Each structure stands twice: as structure tokens, then as C-alpha cells.
């Protein structure tokens, strides 16, 4: 492996930062301590710091030479609402909050690259180090963009990275095209007419209407989507009724949908709306339909995916870059940045199951693997040195 020795030399500093952030997890838009740690580090490296985008977002800008090219590197900084079950020294000090997705490690790897690049300045152009809050649940990337991220810190391309338990330490996975799915929220309230359970003809049963809808929604995947494309429609909550002999007045369905293409995401919304309204009309029930776009599909542009793969191969060797990773149906708010600029989202192996770093993310026993800090920071640095040569 051709990791940067200069970065390996300060691995202990990175590990200390990572564990400090791990011990002090903060969730969506409340990452004030984490933002302070990031800002302090960047300033220590002599990097210009901007704060306040999406409340707790931090952007460090480093310009070297006269090159006009600008590259954005993004790390997410937020934690999860999860009770940590680990017992090590750096376990969470905040009950019910945990860095269970490794964003503590993402933040630290990007700080490692910032330190190296500020010290060596072996590139020509501008790097924007984007530390983004609230990746989980509420798409903080979208808020940073709305707050003017790319007006204030324009980028010709943007890159993101996530650790991947189950993939060996020292491996990367990247592919052009979709790598993660969209994720939307849907809530349908069906209002019928309540009645005695023994006299259903006196009412309009919203539960029967809901049942028709739940089944019909499945035809979006099986009969409205190209079989070579991928769609998930999951109704995950059915809320109705309170006793056995009363037909309730209302029923509510809540769920999530996933797609790998923007057009497919659009199609799901319009099909669900049409099915919900059509079935409501057919049975004489009123339907309120709420569809909230949360995450777009994360789609890597081919050129930038190639840049990512090349930088990864330079560090870990071509044989350790998985270039045909199938996309997952999970979601990632970096998709909003890729919707604005060309770029690529890469996965870095965190370790295989049973070994260090092998525990899956969002599990209370998860921990980011400090052994990949140097690998990730070297990848970021190489990417900049390659593309801003």
C-alpha cells in the first residue's frame, strides 16, 4: 500500500481527534462542539475557515498557486440517536447519541488530508473542505446548498466518502452511475365514515380502502418499473382503529420509497398519488396525500468516478479497487451535492465481519476503524494532487 508516510507520521493525532469526536456525538444541526473542533484544527493548519452554513457547517478553503480549478471534498459530521453499547474509553458520553455511522472517522480523514495538503501544498488550485452537518434523516447537504454553499465556495467537482464494514481494510469500492438510492417519505390519510362493526354498510371503511392501496402500490415495482431498473415501495406503518367492534373514521399509511434514477423517483410519486386518489374515489373515501422528497439517488458522474478510482488505485493498488460495486437501496444526502456539481461518492473498506471495523453501521456496537484513517486521508490528498496537478 502506498499510503502517505507524512500522514502516517501523524496517525496518533488523527486517532486522538477521532476518538474525541466519537466520545462527544452530536446530532442534526446541533454539532456545535464538533464544528468547533473542526474549525480549531483547520485554523491550526493555517486554512481559512468559514462557519454558519446550515447552522453548524464548516468550510475550510485552501488556495495554492494560480490554478483556477476548484475541488470540493465533503465529510459528514453528525451522529445518530442510538444508545452505544461499546465499553471502550472513547464511548459516547451523551446517553442516546452515538457515532454509529462512522462520521467521526469521515471528519477526521478529511482533517488529515487538510493538514497534509496545507503542509505540503503540492497542488495548484483551490480545495474546499466541506464539513457538513445532519446527514442522517434531514439532509443537511440540501440546507448547506440552500444557504449558498456553491455560490460562496464554488466547485468544479465534489467528492464524498463513506466507510463500509464488510469490505476489507485497504480496499475501495466505486462505480460510475447510481451508487445509492433516493429516499422519500409518504403519508396517506384516508377518511371514510365510521360505523358499527356489525353494520359496515352504514359507513365507509377506511381500513378496506387502505388494504387495497397497500396491495396496489406494489404494482409500481412489478408493473410500472422497467424490470432492469430498481424500485422499493414499503408501507411501514398502518395506523387505524382502536377496538374490535368499531369501524374507524380514518386510516393512515406511512412508508418510504427508493429508486436509483431521478425519473424513476418522479414516476413513483405520480403513480402513488394516482393510485391513492383513484382507490379513494372508487370507494368514496377522501384521501390526503403527502409525499416528501428527502434524498435524491446518489449518482456518480463517469469522469469523476474515474478520478476517484485512479486516486484510490494510486494508494491501495488497482487490485484493491472494486469497480463494479452494485448500488445499495440506502440513501445519502451527498446526492444533493451531486445534483449540483459533477462528482463521485466512494466507499472505503472498514474491515470484514468478525474483525476490527466489521460491525455494521447503525449498530450499537459499531466503531470506526482507526486503521483506515491514514488510508482515507491519503486517498483525499492524492485525489487533490492528481486533479489539481
CB of 370 to Zn ion, least distance (A): 17
What one-character DSSP code corresponds to residue 11?
H
Give the nearest residue (CB) to Zn ion: 101
CB of 330 to Zn ion, least distance (A): 8
Considering the complex, state which of residue 134 and residue 383 has its C-beta at the smaller distance from Zn ion: 134
Site residues, Zn ion (CB under 5 A): 101
- What sign does the dihedral 182-58-118-155 (CA atoms) show? positive
321 Cβ neighbours under 8 A, 6+ residues apart: 171, 172, 173, 174, 309, 312, 313
Considering the complex, state which of residue 101 and residue 268 has its C-beta at the smaller distance from Zn ion: 101
Considering the complex, state which of residue 99 and residue 341 has its C-beta at the smaller distance from Zn ion: 99
CB of 13 to Zn ion, least distance (A): 23
CB of 301 to Zn ion, least distance (A): 21
Residue 233's nearest CA partner among 221, 223, 222 is 221
CB of 102 to Zn ion, least distance (A): 6
CB of 249 to Zn ion, least distance (A): 38
Considering the complex, state which of residue 101 and residue 375 has its C-beta at the smaller distance from Zn ion: 101
DSSP string, 321-335: EE--PPPPS---THH
DSSP collapsed to 3 states, 249-292: CEEEEEEEEEECCHHHHHHHHHHHHHHHHHHHHHHCCEEEEEEE
Considering the complex, state which of residue 118 and residue 174 has its C-beta at the smaller distance from Zn ion: 174
Considering the complex, state which of residue 101 and residue 188 has its C-beta at the smaller distance from Zn ion: 101
169 Cβ neighbours under 8 A, 6+ residues apart: 349, 350, 351, 356, 357, 369, 371, 372, 375
Considering the complex, state which of residue 161 and residue 188 has its C-beta at the smaller distance from Zn ion: 161
DSSP string, 48-96: EEEE-TTTT-EEEEEEESS---EEEEEEE---EE------STT--SSTT
Considering the complex, state which of residue 289 and residue 380 has its C-beta at the smaller distance from Zn ion: 380
CB of 106 to Zn ion, least distance (A): 8
Cα separations in angstroms, 48 against 19, 147, 191: 25, 19, 56
The answer to whether 362 and 162 have CB atoms below 8 angstroms apart is: no
SS3 (DSSP) at 24: coil
92 forms beta bridges with: none
CB of 162 to Zn ion, least distance (A): 6
Provide φ and ψ at 67, rounded to 5°: -60, 145
Amino acid at each position: 500500500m502506498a499510503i502517505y508516510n507524512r500522514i502516517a507520521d501523524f496517525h496518533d493525532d488523527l486517532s486522538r481527534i477521532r476518538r474525541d469526536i466519537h466520545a462527544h456525538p452530536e446530532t442534526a444541526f446541533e454539532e456545535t462542539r464538533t464544528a468547533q473542533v473542526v474549525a480549531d484544527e483547520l485554523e491550526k493548519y493555517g486554512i481559512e475557515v468559514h462557519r454558519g452554513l446550515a447552522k453548524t457547517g464548516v468550510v475550510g478553503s485552501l488556495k495554492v498557486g494560480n490554478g483556477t480549478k476548484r475541488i470540493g471534498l465533503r465529510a459528514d459530521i453528525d451522529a445518530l440517536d442510538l444508545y452505544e453499547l461499546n465499553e471502550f474509553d472513547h464511548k459516547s458520553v451523551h446517553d442516546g447519541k452515538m457515532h454509529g455511522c462512522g462520521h467521526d472517522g469521515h471528519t477526521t480523514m478529511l482533517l488529515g488530508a487538510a493538514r497534509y495538503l496545507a503542509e505540503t501544498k503540492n497542488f495548484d488550485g483551490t480545495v474546499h473542505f466541506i464539513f457538513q452537518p445532519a446527514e442522517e434523516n434531514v439532509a443537511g447537504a440540501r440546507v448547506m446548498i440552500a444557504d449558498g454553499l456553491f455560490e460562496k465556495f464554488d466547485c468544479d467537482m465534489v467528492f464524498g466518502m463513506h466507510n463500509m464494514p464488510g469490505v476489507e481494510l485497504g480496499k475501495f469500492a466505486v462505480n460510475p452511475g447510481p451508487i445509492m438510492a433516493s429516499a422519500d417519505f409518504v403519508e396517506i390519510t384516508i377518511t371514510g365514515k365510521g360505523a358499527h362493526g356489525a353494520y359496515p354498510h352504514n359507513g365507509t371503511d377506511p381500513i378496506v380502502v387502505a388494504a387495497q392501496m397497500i396491495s396496489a402500490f406494489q404494482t409500481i415495482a412489478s408493473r410500472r418499473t422497467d424490470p432492469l431498473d430498481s424500485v422499493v415501495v414499503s408501507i411501514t406503518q398502518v395506523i387505524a382503529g382502536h377496538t374490535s367492534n368499531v369501524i374507524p373514521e380514518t386510516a393512515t399509511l406511512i412508508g418510504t420509497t427508493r429508486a436509483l434514477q431521478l425519473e424513476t423517483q418522479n414516476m413513483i410519486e405520480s403513480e402513488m398519488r394516482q393510485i391513492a386518489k383513484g382507490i379513494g374515489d372508487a370507494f368514496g373515501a377522501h384521501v390526503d396525500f403527502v409525499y416528501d422528497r428527502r434524498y435524491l439517488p446518489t449518482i456518480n458522474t463517469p469522469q469523476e468516478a474515474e478520478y476517484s478510482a485512479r486516486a484510490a488505485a494510486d494508494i491501495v493498488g488497482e487490485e484493491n479497487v472494486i469497480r463494479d460495486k452494485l448500488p445499495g437501496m440506502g440513501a445519502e444526502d451527498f446526492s444533493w451535492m451531486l445534483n449540483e456539481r459533477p462528482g463521485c461518492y466512494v466507499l472505503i473498506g472498514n474491515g470484514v465481519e468478525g474483525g476490527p471495523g466489521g460491525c455494521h453501521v447503525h449498530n450499537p456496537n459499531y466503531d470506526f476503524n482507526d486503521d483506515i484513517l491514514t488510508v482515507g486521508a491519503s486517498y483525499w490528498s492524492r485525489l487533490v494532487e492528481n486533479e489539481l496537478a
